[in-house]
Every structure is written in structure tokens, then in C-alpha cells.
Amino acid sequence: MTIIISNHLLKSPEGFFKRDIIDGYGLSRVEADVLWDYVNNFVKEHYLACRFDNQIIFYAVSTAEPAGKPIKNINTGSDLEI
């Protein structure tokens, strides 16, 4: 059943996911497509602001900012010296 999925798709995360679902759980290609869309939308909706593999997030904070202040409320403008 994996042959239905084209070779270029098998080399993507989507392709690996669908192949595993089809081969491991016996889902059809259509069911695998629907499940991929559902999982992908869920991740985008709930984890979009998270850090993923090979992604570095760096915040430079002024020493004038008080301790415990949420990052979303601090000055992160370009006027900070690093």
C-alpha cells in the first residue's frame, strides 16, 4: 500500500507519518491524509510559539527591567545594547 504514496513524499515528515499510519495501523490513504491534516492543524494551533529542533530563541533584556516581569511585557526594542 505504501507504493501509492509518491517517492518524493516518502522523504518528507508527512510521507513518513502517512506510511507509518498506513502500514502500522491499516488506515487507508484517505484516512491517513485526514489524520495528517488534523495532527498538523493541532500542532500549528497549540505549539506555534514553541521552540522546535535546531531553533534558537534569544531574548536580550535590559538590566533596568525588574525581576519576574513577563518577557512579553519587557522592552525588546533595538535600543538595547548587547
Domain-embedded: residue 78: no
- What is the per-residue pLDDT for 65? 82
Which pLDDT tens digit goes with each residue over 23-45?
A: 999 999 999 999 999 999 998 88
Domain that holds residue 30: 2-73
Contacts of 24 (CB under 8 A, 6+ apart): none
Q: Is the confidence at residue 22, as pLDDT, over 60?
A: yes
**Cβ atoms of 32 and 22 closer than 8 Å:** yes
Question: H helices within the chain, ranges in order?
Answer: 7-10, 13-25, 29-47
Residue predicted with more confidence, 80 or 72: 72
Residue 79 maps to a domain: no
Grid cell listed for 34? 485526514
Closest among 43, 64, 60 to 52, alpha carbons compared: 43
- The predicted pLDDT at position 25 comes to 94
CB 65 within 8 A of CB 75: yes
Residue 49 domain-assigned? yes
pLDDT digits (tens, 9 = 90+) for 51-76: 767 777 776 777 788 888 887 788 76
